[in-house]
Amino acid sequence: MCGICGKYNYATTEPVTKEELGKMNDLLIHRGPDDEGYHTDGNAGLAMRRLSIIDLSTGHQPICNEDGSVWIVFNGEIYNFQALHDMLVAKGHVFKTRSDTETIVHLYEEKGADFVKDLRGMFAIAILDKKRKRLLLARDRIGKKPLYYSMNGTFIAFASELRSLLASGGVSREVDLRAVDAYLTLQYVPSPLSIFKSVKKLEPASILVLENGKAVIEKYWDLPLNAEKLTLPLPEIKERLYDGLLEATKIRMISEVPLGAFLSGGIDSSVVVALMAESSSQPVKTFSIGFKEAEFSELAYARQVAQMYGTEHTEFIVEAGMAGILETLVRHYGEPYADSSALPSYFVSRETRKSVTVALNGDGGDENFGGYLRYVAMRVDSYWHVVPTAVKKALLNLAYLFPKKAPYGIFWRAAKFMKASMLQNQPLRYVSTISMFGPNEKRGLLSAKFENRLGGGINYGERYITDLFEAPAGQDLINKLLYVDFRSYLPECLMAKMDIAAMANSLEARSPFLDHKVIEFAYRLPGNLKLKGINGTKWILKETFKDFLPERIYKRGKMGFGIPLGAWFRGELKNYWAETCLSPKALGRGYFNKEHLFMLWDEHQSRARDHGYRLWTLLMLELWHKEFADDFKI
């Protein structure tokens, strides 16, 4: 696992120096504290920081082929590299190391840009092909490993993190207002956008090839939309699912450094720990995070799994006072990012890193098997849409009469569902279920000046999600929603969160549920095996592993990784929010109607509404500005 960066002055002969690469590379030291490496050749250069996991003694990067014409830097892990290595040796390739990195170099020699299709793992790759004067950038299928880049007509620069890329020089910091608008809707900036107009994120499952002054981007993988759904007997489906997840877990336990697992107490991480315990002769090391507020804490469930499998278990409590780490998180993310679970994810990674260097997790279980409550809401909506709008409005007004506590309160969820159900089409209703500020809720918030500056770019986030509904049009409802999440929420939000939280602490996170073979198998299962009726979330996963889990965990519903923002913003973080977001400088940026901001704040403080997650979204935007664009105003 590494951080990578580089630069190629493709339109000039201006040399790329180790010194300028060093400025970029130094900002990635947390991603790779064990080693650093550089390769410069005239107008091109590559650099990396390494976190040593496999081939500790000879895995130094950058690394090249036999004649030094192809060079690579690589961030990630390739789990099938041994089989690829043996195939390449049989074809006559000569290896200097036992590393997965060198395997990629020779695989590129053998197959060109198609080499990525043979890789099983997580990766961000940069290959410099001197003979062809080509730079190739590639990103894994699910987007576990990030890659930012910037082109200005004479050079391209790239890096694992935005801060590193900005250090390359020549990268404009002009804010992309479409990205801010999308962030307010989605809680993240979706690729290929970044917060800056001059910077792009390479999308998951994509390759960028820069040759002869022209960059071409192509997708090399997608979910199997055209494959027939599996109609196998239930016992065979369960057997294949068990075998697939067991193998995906085993290959992710290959490591030359200490290894453990995040254990949330939910179904997915519990399944991973169960499979790790089955595959290991030593007790699994497990790590859990919780809160003083009982309704937000899953520690009791995590303990049950830890006891069932005799793990070496560690727990950690997150409190409001620990939000002082927010400025650090903002620096690491580089862009506005409002998934509040970034905070506990950072702390569980920090505590885990004290004992191990690699941690497996349960990411991807919800997207593979239909675990989110919004899938239930959308199935209910498929029947509910026939209810007259007047009735829906009456029920919404009724829900407003009751106390609402985000994100778990029944009346909070009911009100969110009612508002979504009144929107005109399915994609917009889905956007409303996942949004911080829904399609109609930004209208009072955004200033006229901001809306005018956005022009035709307004509502980018809504259009982004709506467009994703086109490809899976022939799928059943649940698989359609899973496809949208695999192309948006999973890579853009969850993968970004886990990569940053883990790598900020020099920890490698691995996800068996996100093995592309597991994903392809799961997607070929019909939606009614994933969501049974309106309350059987992840049905086939639970049926397959019910004998591996404590009964309370097998039968419990989805909780999510929420934090008690509502209480925090009325308590310990109250002054912090007001001093940050209602300061003259914040208000002077011109994004928002001041009256609407004060209304949100007053409603929250009076407990008329719970705006905790919206307040968090606004806070993280202003903290980002203070770090990266403090003088910005519209």
Q: What pLDDT is attached to residue 399? A: 67
Across the range 333-359, mean pLDDT stands at 93
The predicted-structure confidence for 407-445, as pLDDT tens digits, reads as follows 556 666 766 676 777 677 889 989 988 998 987 888 889
Q: What pLDDT is attached to residue 211? A: 95
Task: Decide if pLDDT at 406 tops 60.
Answer: no
Which residues are 286's β-sheet partners? 261, 313
d(CA 137, CA 51): 21
- Better-predicted residue by pLDDT, 325 or 574: 574
Across the range 391-413, mean pLDDT stands at 65
CATH topology identical between 2-219 and 234-370+479-555: no
Question: CA torsion sign, 406 to 411 to 415 to 421?
Answer: positive
Q: Side chain identity at 41, as an amino acid letter? A: D
Task: Decide if pLDDT at 404 tops 60.
Answer: no
For residue 294, what are the contacts with CB-CB under 8 A and spacing of at least 6? none
Q: What pLDDT is attached to residue 237? A: 98
The answer to whether 238 touches 185, Cβ cutoff 8 Å, is: no
How many Cβ atoms are within 10 Å of 22's Cβ, its own excluded? Answer: 15
Residue 461 carries which DSSP code?
Answer: H
The predicted-structure confidence for 348-368, as pLDDT tens digits, reads as follows 899 999 999 999 999 999 999
Task: Decide if pLDDT at 101 tops 70.
Answer: yes
For residue 47, what are the contacts with CB-CB under 8 A and spacing of at least 6? 4, 5, 6, 18, 21, 22, 24, 25, 36, 37, 38, 39, 62, 73
The predicted-structure confidence for 276-303, as pLDDT tens digits, reads as follows 999 998 999 999 988 776 666 678 889 9
As a CATH number, domain 2-219 is 3.60.20.10
Helix axis angle, 326-333 to 496-503, nearest 10°: 110
**Domain-by-domain residue ranges, the chain?**
2-219, 234-370+479-555
Task: Decide if pLDDT at 609 tops 90.
Answer: no
For residue 536, what are the contacts with CB-CB under 8 A and spacing of at least 6? none
Q: What pLDDT is attached to residue 1? A: 60
Q: What pLDDT is attached to residue 295? A: 64
How many Cβ atoms are within 10 Å of 181's Cβ, its own excluded? Answer: 25
238: helix, strand or coil = helix
d(CA 392, CA 314): 47
The answer to whether 583 touches 305, Cβ cutoff 8 Å, is: no
In the block, residue with structure tokens 């040759």 = 211
Q: What pLDDT is attached to residue 58? A: 63
Q: What pLDDT is attached to residue 407? A: 58
Task: Decide if pLDDT at 389 tops 80.
Answer: no
Across the range 113-129, mean pLDDT stands at 98
Helix axis angle, 100-111 to 81-90, nearest 10°: 50
The predicted-structure confidence for 526-556, as pLDDT tens digits, reads as follows 999 999 988 889 999 999 999 999 888 877 6
As a CATH number, domain 234-370+479-555 is 3.40.50.620
Helix axis angle, 410-421 to 389-400, nearest 10°: 150
Q: What pLDDT is attached to residue 318? A: 76
Task: Please give the positions annotated as active site.
Answer: 2
Asked if the peptide bond before residue 204 counts as cis, ω within 30 degrees of 0, the response is no
Q: The pTM is what?
A: 0.93
Q: What pLDDT is attached to residue 383? A: 77
Which of these, 132, 116, 217, 164, lies nearest to 7 by C-alpha position? 164
d(CA 288, CA 313): 8
